[in-house]
Structure 1
Amino acid sequence: MKNTRLFSNMGGLPGQSELLSSKAVFTTAYAVIPGSVMRDIVTSVLPHWAGTRAWIISRPLTGFSETFSQYIMEVAPGGGSDKPEPDARASAAIFVVDGEMIVTFEGEEKALRTGSFAYLPAGRRWTLKNTGDVPAKFHWVRKAFEVVEGLKAPPAVFTHEDDCEISAMPDTDGRWATTRFLDPNDVRYDMHLNIVTFEPGAVIPFLETHVMEHGLYVLEGRAVYRLNEDWVEVEAGDYMWLRAFCPQACYAGGPGRFRYLLYKDVNRHTKLW
């Protein structure tokens, strides 16, 4: 299954005559940040990044989701950073939705393009440069890596969604499937960043209720998503942020397939405070 266009049309500003209503919501169990509110005036400029702006769409909050931050980065041609990560504890997962760039990891250049994925282990040296003629846009998930005594640090991963096997969920005839960039059985990794794909009419047929936190960014299509007690219509460019144990389900109504980028924390014991 080759990728089609991935949503990357952030920015701009609505006209003065447009309605103020929106499906943006922040609750005690989940948040919805629709693409319509990811405008120019809510971007951040980051230290040591040139020609770059960022939409910070999640960050650790006490009593809510606490394991990760997720940025949408837009890097102008020639822009980038020689010091992208200020925290030596932070591992990074990157997924490119538009353009081209070079990530130099431990002195080795890696070319990334639309649909590319990279996992960069904590405490390792990397830089990023937009080498193309158009802005490069990518998701950047940052997580403080949870070290486990006696377990080796995970290696870096560079791949592309076209080169990854799509795994169908059991008893779905391939209508609900997942592209996994990291081996789910490799406990060295403490997070996953996957692409979940639903064909029109496919569903999550029960209310998932589990300990993993989620960031879900819609790359393509539209659906109705159950979040706690609410059904919410979502489409390409929308972001959902779920705390642990928030019930969730999904119905992909079509007409095309529905795909989203999914973060979750995995492979670690719960902390006992």
Structure 2
Amino acid sequence: MPASYYAPTGGHPGQDQLLTDRAVFTDAYAVIPRGTMRDITTSYLPFWDATRLWVIARPMTGFAETFSHYIMEVRPGGGSDRPELDAQAQGVLFVVDGHATLTVGGATHTLAPGGYAYLPPGSDWALRNAGDAALRFHWIRKAYDAVPGLDAPDVIISHDDDVAPTVMPDTDGRWATTRFVDPSDLRHDMHVTIVTFQPGGVIPFLETHVMEHGLYVLQGKAAYRLNTDWVEVEAGDYMWLRAFCPQACYAGGPGPFRYLLYKDVNRHMPLRPLTAAR
């Protein structure tokens, strides 16, 4: 499957554009269409040179509770030698446009479109755009929930093309998941995968379960069920689903429907506020 990933480029709509769009924000889910990712909605970060970003998820009441999700845009020569300021934060990088030079643990890696990196908490890493074109990548962050007796995970460098998708049973290959992390490795408390539906593929029941979800559509289009509503989504759109929000999907084609998926996994449910004394 040739790599094809949507990446926002910003800009600004003209005064003749209609105000109506598909943006939705509810207590159970949110849809952030690609048309909202304009110059006026960008942000900036300390110690990142020649860089702007779109924040599409952040921890807050009634929204993403366990993670943040950025789409980073780094101009040629830009980047950071101090990218992460939170020693407890782990991260996943996924490149969709351009080439990144990632240095971590004394080793240097080049990440092309489809490149994936998992960075454990406390990693000493730096990232630069050494190319002649803009670099765009997803950066998903979560505070690591350490467990006594379990070591922290290792750095993982991979690529979409290097991981054989796991096909869901009884789907004739229409629904598959690219897993960069072994699901049985309980050191990990978050998974970032790529889910692929071939035309006609479906989630044939309303999934209702404990994981919080963040879905960025990399390719294609589909009708997606979120709580009680069916919404149409396309490449560049983002969806957030709170835990237990019912979801289903129908991929109508003409090409594959693929999304980058975050979810929290492998930990007990907190029985008291996380800030309370243990």
Answer whether TM exceeds 0.5 for this pair: yes
- Answer yes or no: is 1:17 the counterpart of 2:45: no
- Answer yes or no: is 1:132 the counterpart of 2:131: yes
What CA distance in whole angstroms lies between the structure 1 residues aligned with 2:85 and 2:235? 31
For the Cα contact (< 8 Å) 1:71–1:139, is it kept in 2?
yes
Q: What residue is the counterpart of 1:45 in the other structure?
A: 44
Q: What residue is the counterpart of 2:200 in the other structure?
A: 201
Q: What residue is the counterpart of 1:121 in the other structure?
A: 120
SS at match of 2:161: helix
Q: What residue is the counterpart of 1:191 in the other structure?
A: 190
Structure 2 alignment gaps of length 5 or more: 273-278
SS at match of 1:170: coil
The residue identity in structure 1 corresponding to 2:29 is Y
CA apart distance, 1:124: 1.5
Q: What residue is the counterpart of 1:240 in the other structure?
A: 239
SS at match of 1:117: strand
Structure 1 alignment gaps of length 5 or more: none
Alignment of 1:11-160 (within 5 A): 11-160=10-159
Runs of 4+ that moved beyond 3 A: none
Sequence identity of aligned pairs in percent?
65
Q: What residue is the counterpart of 1:230 in the other structure?
A: 229
For the Cα contact (< 8 Å) 1:3–1:115, is it kept in 2?
no
Q: What residue is the counterpart of 2:261 in the other structure?
A: 262
What CA distance in whole angstroms lies between the structure 2 residues aligned with 1:4 and 1:91? 26
The residue identity in structure 2 corresponding to 1:44 is S
Aligned residues: 272
SS at match of 1:137: strand
SS at match of 1:218: strand
What CA distance in whole angstroms lies between the structure 2 residues aligned with 1:222 and 1:229? 19
Q: Per-residue CA shift, 1:11-48, capped at 9, x if unaligned?
A: 11111001000110110000000000110110001100
What CA distance in whole angstroms lies between the structure 1 residues aligned with 2:31 and 2:37? 12
What CA distance in whole angstroms lies between the structure 1 residues aligned with 2:2 and 2:246? 29
What CA distance in whole angstroms lies between the structure 1 residues aligned with 2:3 and 2:233? 19
What CA distance in whole angstroms lies between the structure 1 residues aligned with 2:65 and 2:16? 38
Q: What residue is the counterpart of 2:276 in the other structure?
A: none
CA apart distance, 1:107: 1.8
SS at match of 2:44: coil
SS at match of 1:246: coil
What CA distance in whole angstroms lies between the structure 2 residues aligned with 1:194 and 1:99? 20
What CA distance in whole angstroms lies between the structure 1 residues aligned with 2:62 and 2:232? 26
CA apart distance, 1:60: 0.7
CA apart distance, 1:63: 3.9
Q: Per-residue CA shift, 1:142-193, capped at 9, x if unaligned?
A: 0000000000110000000111011100000110001011111100011011
Residues 175, 211 of structure 1: alpha-carbon distance in 2 compared, 3 angstrom cutoff: same
What CA distance in whole angstroms lies between the structure 2 residues aligned with 1:222 and 1:56? 22
Return the TM-score normalized by structure 1.
0.98
For the Cα contact (< 8 Å) 1:10–1:35, is it kept in 2?
no
CA apart distance, 1:3: 3.3
SS at match of 1:219: strand
SS at match of 1:122: coil
What CA distance in whole angstroms lies between the structure 2 residues aligned with 1:118 and 1:34? 26
Q: Per-residue CA shift, 1:213-250, capped at 9, x if unaligned?
A: 01100000000000000000000000001111100000
For the Cα contact (< 8 Å) 2:8–2:37, is it kept in 1?
no
What CA distance in whole angstroms lies between the structure 1 residues aligned with 2:70 and 2:165? 25
What CA distance in whole angstroms lies between the structure 1 residues aligned with 2:84 and 2:169? 39
What CA distance in whole angstroms lies between the structure 2 residues aligned with 1:5 and 1:67? 28
Aligned-residue CA RMSD in angstroms?
Answer: 0.8
What CA distance in whole angstroms lies between the structure 2 residues aligned with 1:163 and 1:68? 26
What CA distance in whole angstroms lies between the structure 2 residues aligned with 1:131 and 1:16? 36
CA apart distance, 1:208: 0.4
- Answer yes or no: is 1:251 the counterpart of 2:250: yes
